[in-house]
Structure 1
């Protein structure tokens, strides 16, 4: 069984507790206009050319391909979408086992949407869990409920995105409705899962959703934290490198904007925090 991975980032501190390795899966069912991981949207392998990194050395002979990417000295050419067998990826992730153990960290499966490759994600989680590695699942929640049932036994915590409660707002920002997402969150809570809700806050798009999110979450069990994330548009260069249409909003979200949302969520009795404070 093979999975398609867009990248692996080691020594992360923002994707769960302790030091973690984050595995970014290729492919996502949503098309969020503010997506900061555009290389993870498509399920297909992609080749990116970062023109600003190119020093015109000629090694690639101006042919942007997977083969020439291996020889690019400045990583101006990069391939997103490496295939791994479960055992192969487990071997890579186990290299940091001592760091996980000493920091209370582990591995976070992210994306894209890691659960869109459900069989691979479940098998990977099971192997890591059985090797004593903490597993967090970073998900948008737009998945079949059966997938959640299969992966719950091997998951310590879910990092769960809630982008909007108003379905019209959600569809405008992600192209999909949110019924499945909200129902799956309730299902996880009913099954005693630990959940950190993440609210990507984009001024002018979903910034009016704070009260609705607070009202929806306040009576759910298992919500240990609600983190409000500041929107930024730093990934614009990746859209260009991948030859993708840049959908990033031209919006400035300030600290005080995020803090206002945090205060609203706190008024519902939630353990809300400003994600900027953890940066």
Structure 2
């Protein structure tokens, strides 16, 4: 067996893997900073070396063949292992190294970042590079080592450490509810209701929980970020239903008024990462610090 045929060059493999993920030479070329024709030629060279067709044409689009789909699955895991090995080498070569951490923006600004100085004091050899992510984190490109995100925690392809169970609480500007009337469910129901666009229908659940007719809801603006919603609440635009842990300091300092009892959301904040990253010294240090910080 010709071992050269079994070990194509990395440039050919990267061109195929990017084209296969996108099923597009154009998007693969943009990702790899190459021309479309260069990516196409590299894929053709790889097909000739392997003696199989990896793509077929459907009009102006390219579609993986069955063997191409199989090759992508196996190759993706292999490239991820190579990237992980490289990260480990870099980390060991520079002490503890760096951690590329994806965070929900408001969680980062209100909970993690105010505490991060304690991590640096205990781990002076580590740098944490923070990347804001609203949507689910994609670990396949190797650009993120770990993420703190919120959800069910049922992600079998990842190592998951539950951190905090999420509870939602109604918050309002003290000035908005300063008329002296009792602040109860009826009072809140009469306000403009603000919500984060990506969240489930929280207010509908809240109305049902308090036995209020849904047609009484006065829906207000939606926001992409919880931090923007909270600023709108502070400004008196309306009331919000937000994670309790994100507003504890504002409530404590009197910037916001918390109304009623917290409601469990059935979601959990988790630290999650691919198993291949578990050996990273920077991630080991951060994981241990984070779980200790939370009393885990």
Q: Which structure's residues are more often helix, by fraction?
A: 2
Higher relative contact order (CA 8 A, sep 6+): 2
Q: The TM-score by the shorter chain falls in which range?
A: under 0.3
TM-score by length of 1: 0.23
Q: Provide TM-score, normalisation by structure 2.
A: 0.23
